[in-house]
Structure 1
Amino acid sequence: MGKQPVKMRAVVYALSPFQQKIMSGLWKDLPAKITHKVSENWISATLLLTPLVGTY
């Protein structure tokens, strides 16, 4: 059997300048979101940070 050429298509995803306003909502009030998540999951955060601090 001979080799057959395979057609390849490249797809590039990008945000238009008009839609980048939507992304700002992710960074809005970021410290409060992090504090809220850590306070909800403080046991998991402790188990994550203890080995990191212990090895340093």
Structure 2
Amino acid sequence: MGKQPVKLKAVVYAISPFQQKIMPGLWKDLPGKIHHKVSENWISATLLLGPLVGTYSYVQHFLEKEKLEHRY
């Protein structure tokens, strides 16, 4: 049995510089996607942002109190 050559076809994918719709599905229904993500993860976001906002407000209050204490 002899060797028979096999024809191969190479497919090259490229984006045209004139192509305008590279990722059209990314921007479709963006407010709906954001609402869905927020409504799914609201408890995680609350547990993350709650302590951060609380700590920041405590530090700002403490700095303001210290600033007023050293005023006189």
Task: Report the TM-score when normalising by structure 1.
Answer: 0.49
Greater relative contact order, per chain length (Cα 8 Å cut-off, separation 6+): 1
Pick the structure with more helix per residue.
Answer: 2
Task: Report the TM-score when normalising by structure 2.
Answer: 0.41
Bigger Rg, structure 1 or 2: 2
